[in-house]
Structure 1
């Protein structure tokens, strides 16, 4: 006899979407969540959903965008090193999933639609109220249905009988179900798993820190792995650049910086999206860079609503010099000596950059002229920059397009589904765009919920006679 049709382990965006879909399809559902409240990392996010061919795009005058174009963008950006079937589903299902979010009360405004990746189309749909608003709407979408939620509760292991997942073990007691969905998020709060499965997120030691929910310790991945689940390609996720001034989330370093590598040379348009910046920085020696600017830029520095960077205001930068986390010198040669790079090369780079500023055109990397600022007024500054903020982890359980967890022989494990950050295969070395991870959570969460409910219906006659 089953206790529930469907058990969902984890109440982040994927788990809440799965609960909504499963309950809408007639299943009785139990959600087990380790935290004191639902929402997970989705509730902590900026609330961006990446999609093409949506009603909001049409409202904003964007016609003709379609999932086909997004699929080509995803795959090309990551040199086709992704699981094409999963990416195809992610792209194809994104318009309907977005409309579903609107239908349950998530507010999206045309003025908040923006280019969230390195593509040139506005596909980043930012929810009014951010990720917290998405989580709230998801939780409200199954109000009044047969959904129980157990907060501050950890699942110990999966219940396995005759090769089938039949529920979970909680507090030493079995709770049975026809289908179980793992949506426990990633493993950003588990240093040991980071070192093993996402080594790029561990190379800078204590400088790394995680912005997601502290309950994201990889429990679900480990449980499913113990039951025979296969793990996707390692070393996948999203890191953000940081100067290490403070452990406060800033998605961007200012685009007006001139960024150089250990050789003292520029290597990138400093204003490009965070979605690819970590991958570019990863090709440089020691995987670090230095953001160079002068006193005039420091004095003019302020945060903006477009790219908020509260640690880069004039007063705070002075504080970081005093704290020793920002280097300062009266000359370019002196600055080069302080950060350990060639004064001659840095002089050449600065002079060339200043020529670009005078020309109002970046002939080196074609950064927009609005981000060009001269480096002429002493004293001069250098911020040591590395990719150390862990946004989310992209290595996880391998699933198929029905959200079924696959075993080592690529066969679905009976009764076991997964969605969201717990899974892998959809993302590569470059993060596709802002909002891709929420899209993944919602789309595969809905899929897992529907599939699990369908499986429960098949098992209902057996449960009734047992």
Structure 2
């Protein structure tokens, strides 16, 4: 405001204004329903991707939002900016999701998620084990493995005896996101989940009951558990080479406790291609004059994985790509106006 800018709230943009192949502004509708045009010498689109757009998620990735795919629900990430750029001739490029995993409705069941995502037996809907559960502390590895399973989900199984050990000695995997005291407070959450009919948590007293609740053949489930327990007893995982200190036999003592984990994401990344100046490229890899993009709409440097070893990387890209685009726009204006 001090520099003379006008800020319009409750005024969603509806399209880019293109004249003679150049981007010269945006169309919008204000809070009173009036159509307006905001013109400028350049436009930068930074709308955060399409992480909460059900149709775009289905069309681009084949996942069903809130059915088999449960990302963080970031308001406003509906893909409007990307659609505007595509309509203006931008190349559609590199759209992806930063794959992680979590229980459905994660934030409402945060303690359950924290307790059940320990490196115990992880199986798919066929009753088969499919990864080294010792890697479950890495949300990216686990999310990508779950994405390859039937239905894009898996069941992580432990029992009351293992939980008792965690309460006494601490969990196998520590992280800064999930509180250690969750293990001491989780029993009430187990009860709440059953009372509310939450299907992200399953509890059973026998293998037969567990198989019925999971919809897995009881003989197959028992075979998988027997094989796993044999490896635990031997202290050697001959299937996936999980660390021996994570090999806790699952006997059912204290009941079977299961979390149903789905693929998830912090949001989408990519959708348009930019050059080092933040200029949006067309289908022929030529910059569209006056059109720039920054942040998640243009972030194609991480592929399909959340960069687990560098937390905050997407925000870092957003900040720096915005800075780079701003500097480039200043140069563009100096040279052309």
Please give the range of the TM-score, normalised by the shorter of the 2 chains.
0.7 to 0.9
Q: Work out the CA distance in 1 between the residues paired with 2:296 and 2:43.
A: 16
Q: CA deviation at 1:210?
A: 4.2
The one of 143, 146, 149 aligned to 1:278: 143
SS in 2 for 1:156: strand
Contact 1:197 1:395 in 2 (8 A): no
Tell me whether 1:313 sits opposite 2:183 in the alignment.
no
Give the corresponding residue for 2:14.
156
Deviations along 1:414-442, whole A, 9 cap, x unmatched? 00010111125323233333433223212
Deviations along 1:197-229, whole A, 9 cap, x unmatched? 2323x1x65454442431111111111111111
The one of 187, 197, 209 aligned to 2:50: 187
Cα distance change of structure 1 residues 371 and 317 upon mapping to structure 2, 3 Å threshold: farther
Q: Work out the CA distance in 2 between the residues paired with 1:249 and 1:154.
A: 33
Q: Work out the CA distance in 2 between the residues paired with 1:360 and 1:400.
A: 52
Tell me whether 1:385 sits opposite 2:250 in the alignment.
no
Contact 2:68 2:152 in 1 (8 A): no
Contact 1:164 1:415 in 2 (8 A): yes
SS in 2 for 1:178: coil
Q: CA deviation at 1:255?
A: 2.2
Question: After superposition, where does 1:42-61 map in structure 2 within 5 Å?
Answer: none
Q: CA deviation at 1:393?
A: 0.8
Question: After superposition, where does 1:23-422 map in structure 2 within 5 Å?
Answer: 149-171=7-29, 172-200=35-63, 202=64, 205-206=66-67, 208-234=69-95, 236-244=96-104, 247-248=107-108, 254-272=117-135, 273-299=138-164, 306-308=176-178, 313-324=186-197, 325=199, 326-376=201-251, 377-387=253-263, 389-422=264-297
Q: Name stretches of at least 5 consecutive residues in structure 2 with no aligned partner.
A: 30-34
Give the corresponding residue for 1:426.
301
Contact 1:331 1:378 in 2 (8 A): no
Tell me whether 1:435 sits opposite 2:312 in the alignment.
yes
The count of residues paired between Structure 1 and Structure 2 equals 314
Cα distance change of structure 1 residues 245 and 367 upon mapping to structure 2, 3 Å threshold: farther
Contact 2:16 2:23 in 1 (8 A): yes
**Which region of structure 1 is more displaced relative to structure 2, 444-453 or 324-333?**
324-333
Deviations along 1:270-329, whole A, 9 cap, x unmatched? 242112322211222232211111122344566966341659823212322344423333
Q: Work out the CA distance in 1 between the residues paired with 2:265 and 2:176.
A: 22
Give the corresponding residue for 1:124.
none
Cα distance change of structure 1 residues 176 and 266 upon mapping to structure 2, 3 Å threshold: same
SS in 2 for 1:216: coil
Cα distance change of structure 1 residues 216 and 249 upon mapping to structure 2, 3 Å threshold: farther
Cα distance change of structure 1 residues 385 and 305 upon mapping to structure 2, 3 Å threshold: closer
Cα distance change of structure 1 residues 363 and 314 upon mapping to structure 2, 3 Å threshold: farther
Normalised TM-score (structure 1): 0.60
Q: CA deviation at 1:147?
A: 5.8
Normalised TM-score (structure 2): 0.80
SS in 2 for 1:211: coil
Q: Work out the CA distance in 1 between the residues paired with 2:88 and 2:155.
A: 46
Deviations along 1:12-57, whole A, 9 cap, x unmatched? xxxxxxxxxxxxxxxxxx8xxxxxxxxxxxxxxxxxxxxxxxxxxx
Q: Work out the CA distance in 2 between the residues paired with 1:436 and 1:356.
A: 38
